[in-house]
Structure 1
Amino acid sequence: MDKFDNNLFKQGNISNHIFKNRYMVAPMTRVSSESDGTPNERVHQYYVRYARGGFSAVITEGTYPDTAYSQGYENQAGIATEKHRDAWKPIVEDIKSNGSKAIVQLMHAGAQSQGSYYNEETIAPSPYDPNAEKVGAYGGEGKFQQAREMTQTDIDEAKRGFVQASIYAAEAGFDGIELHGANGYLLDQFLSEGINKRTDKYGGSVEKRLTFLLEIIKEVREAIGDDMVLGIRISQIKVVNPNHKWSGGEKEAETIFGILGRSEVDYIHISDDDAAEPGFGEGTMTMAAAAKAFGSVPVITAGNLADPDKAAGLIDRGECDYVAVARAALANPDAPNRIQKGMPLDEFNPDEIMSPKAYVKDTELSRDMIPNE
């Protein structure tokens, strides 16, 4: 690979934050925290290696915001208590001291919860059975249970959880917050017509199905002010249905991205199976291009972008502003540094997803984990 020097490594900004390049670490489920959700030293070392490796921003795993119903996986990280907040502080400080922005993704699992330290019951906008097997790679076994319909009290409690977690994130020093509205978790469950059967203000048309998301966006923004970046992740695909598409296609995308773009978010983050492929059928725009066209805010996109030329092409064509990588980052925690130096990238090996190379189970970095400086 020749030395790489193009738009992928140009400085950019989202709101009042400057990003040194357009390469970010995508959020990835990490079941490596303590049983009560407290991030530990292996979580610390897992994240800091990406900052050392040259990524402009590190977006955390989906981190649960409350101790009621939000947790999705056993040993998932939380930011729901002061103990969680304090454990994140040195991690965030280390990420930032190595030149990267630290963004925490807040995730309420809803009906897709398969393991919780706090509650065995699950909730959703409407009674909902995901009708799928739990994710074995993240400790799940057997079928998901049926979630009960959320009451207004549940909805208010969930919103308070997002707000309080955002306050804890600010106190921990994070540069930004990303709301997880993708992949079939709670915010996406409200957006999904096949899951959300409510007849109150939270259900019905796509505009009404966005109400819960918009209320959370507004309340979080009010809580954190304008200094922190606020984004939202959106997808069509779901953990239990990777082939799912919005029934309204590009027209529905125009509505969703248009409304989100007019809200208080600073960016939209797209999650897709392949970010460079048509998002709504043959001959249609990519999801990122739709978000860019209709949302009028910076767009991050993720999905099969290990090839830096492919990733850069999306930026060059104006379909997105930033790219985020997951599997490629697991295989190459120092990918930006390698690419800029013209060094080859390692292939992702799915057999290593639960290995120390992916999770850094030991408290010290092994030799092969240390990024090239």
Structure 2
Amino acid sequence: MNSQTTQHPALDAGKIHNLALRNRYVVAPMSRASAGEDGVPTSEMAAYYARFAQGGYGLIIAEGAYTDTILAQSYGNQPGMCTDAHAHGWKATVDAVHAAGGKIILQLIHAGAVSQVVDTPHAPSPVRPDGMMLQGYGPKQGAYPVPVPLSDHQIAETKAGFVMAALRAERAGFDGVEVHCANGYLLDQFLTPETNSRTAPYGGSLQNRIRLTCEIIAEIRAVTGQDFATGVRLSQAKATQPDYFWQGGLKDAAVIFDAVHLAGAAFIHLASEIKGYTYHSRTKQGESLTKLARMRTGLPVIANGGLQDPQLARDIMSAGEADFVSVGKSALVNPDLPQKIAAGQTPVEFSFDVFSHGVSLAGQAQWQAAQIG
């Protein structure tokens, strides 16, 4: 039986923790800068996320919500999850996704040194981030400032922010949370030796540098229900360093994967959206990180990076390199991708023209209206 007549493996039912999923297609978290200025999600966001569930995606990971109102926010109009109003706003999104037969997890994020909102960003160490602030995400633009090192007390407050945000997410009805330790944000700043010159307990060895992420995962697991999934997103590349690789390759990856597994992570999501799966889900020597994660931990592993390509997704799943595939920007023009794959249709090709009127949902709607016109 050839690949044209065999059901695509991403269309098979799957399971993450105690979540039964109708297929293995996942919407990756994407910052849309469309919440209110106070971080409260809008009805527009609820309709946006529900569309992916209506289009057949088994799991949706909602964009990163900031975890405290003091230091965590990344950019303007980012949603939060640190007030009752935030939770109430998110509940409308959760209810809309569930009503359409989908499952939804909330990503939790702290910007650290790369905040484009906070007056005085804080980070593990006083290391200025490479590159420039992201265009279109305001309110600040230009070079990043040198951050102030977090005190021990502030680190404890950071942990508490993640835990309280997870509890609010659970109360709002989310099926789980994803702890963001990727792309150069705060927890990844702790993980990365170039941005972490601290000593123990959160600096020095790789085990110490991944410690904060692991403590957050473990503390969330300790206070949330048995069915609530707490996963982690990891990456090699950073938003400002698209060619960054883990220094120790598979050796470093083994330490990181083992640590988050021991902490109680329900899944590992490896972000490779900047230069694609075949570039950044592998070491410099071409060895598969997602396959190593599966082999060492036995956890469900979500691969990412250009996986709207049905043949690439089929190949890596058939090779045992991933259990699930997440789709980011291409999901914006293929909110019904699973249905297209099931029907043998070719996905629409993504173009950055989608953001020609801005990265927000309103900007995308304006672009779509222009296409029709």
TM over 0.5, shorter chain = yes
In the alignment, is residue 280 of structure 1 matched against residue 283 of structure 2?
yes
- The C-alpha deviation readout for 1:12-53, integer Å capped at 9, x for no partner, is 111111011010100111111111111112211221111111
- 5+ residue gaps, structure 2, are none
* Range moving further from structure 2, 18-27 or 286-295: 286-295
Do 1:129 and 1:144's aligned partners in 2 also have CA atoms closer than 8 Å?
yes
- Secondary structure of residue in 1 paired with 2:193: coil
- State the distance in 1 between where 2:345 and 2:277 align: 24
Instruction: State the match for 2:129 in structure 1.
Output: 130
- Secondary structure of residue in 2 paired with 1:230: strand
Correspondence list, 1:298-317, <5 A? 298-317=300-319
Q: What amino acid does structure 2 have at the position aligned with 1:240?
A: T
Correspondence list, 1:186-205, <5 A? 186-205=186-205
1:106, distance to aligned residue in structure 2 (A):
0.1
Equivalences, count: 365
Q: Percent identity?
A: 37
Instruction: State the match for 1:111 in structure 2.
Output: 113
- Secondary structure of residue in 1 paired with 2:237: strand
- State the distance in 2 between where 1:36 and 1:323 align: 33
Q: What amino acid does structure 1 have at the position aligned with 2:123?
A: A
Going from structure 1 to structure 2, the CA distance change for 1:290 and 1:338 (only over 3 Å counts) comes to same
For residue 292 of structure 1, the aligned residue among 291, 294, 306 is 294
- Secondary structure of residue in 2 paired with 1:141: coil
For residue 56 of structure 1, the aligned residue among 36, 55, 58 is 58
- State the distance in 1 between where 2:347 and 2:233 align: 27
Going from structure 1 to structure 2, the CA distance change for 1:4 and 1:329 (only over 3 Å counts) comes to farther
- The C-alpha deviation readout for 1:241-287, integer Å capped at 9, x for no partner, is 011111111111111112222221110000113223461123x3222
- State the distance in 1 between where 2:354 and 2:360 align: 7
- Secondary structure of residue in 1 paired with 2:95: helix
Q: What amino acid does structure 2 have at the position aligned with 1:16?
A: N
- State the distance in 2 between where 1:354 and 1:101 align: 30
1:79, distance to aligned residue in structure 2 (A):
0.8
* Range moving further from structure 2, 135-144 or 70-79: 135-144
Instruction: State the match for 1:219 in structure 2.
Output: 219
Correspondence list, 1:162-173, <5 A? 162-173=162-173
Do 2:215 and 2:263's aligned partners in 1 also have CA atoms closer than 8 Å?
no
Q: What amino acid does structure 2 have at the position aligned with 1:167?
A: L
Going from structure 1 to structure 2, the CA distance change for 1:357 and 1:237 (only over 3 Å counts) comes to closer
In the alignment, is residue 121 of structure 1 matched against residue 120 of structure 2?
yes
Correspondence list, 1:1-373, <5 A? 5-115=7-117, 119-139=118-138, 140-272=140-272, 273-277=275-279, 279-282=282-285, 284-353=286-355, 355=357, 359-360=361-362
- Runs (4+) of structure 1 exceeding 3 A deviation are 1-4, 354-358, 360-364, 366-369
1:180, distance to aligned residue in structure 2 (A):
0.4
- Secondary structure of residue in 2 paired with 1:304: coil
- 5+ residue gaps, structure 1, are none
1:316, distance to aligned residue in structure 2 (A):
1.2
- State the distance in 2 between where 1:357 and 1:254 align: 36
- Secondary structure of residue in 2 paired with 1:93: helix
Do 2:232 and 2:268's aligned partners in 1 also have CA atoms closer than 8 Å?
yes
- The C-alpha deviation readout for 1:71-90, integer Å capped at 9, x for no partner, is 00100111111000000111
1:296, distance to aligned residue in structure 2 (A):
2.3
Q: What amino acid does structure 1 have at the position aligned with 2:293?
A: A
Q: What amino acid does structure 2 have at the position aligned with 1:136?
A: Q
- State the distance in 1 between where 2:8 and 2:370 align: 28
- State the distance in 2 between where 1:70 and 1:147 align: 13
When normalised by structure 1's length, the TM-score is 0.93
Q: What amino acid does structure 2 have at the position aligned with 1:102?
A: I
- State the distance in 1 between where 2:365 and 2:291 align: 41
- Secondary structure of residue in 2 paired with 1:13: strand
1:344, distance to aligned residue in structure 2 (A):
2.4
* Range moving further from structure 2, 255-264 or 28-37: 255-264
1:6, distance to aligned residue in structure 2 (A):
2.4
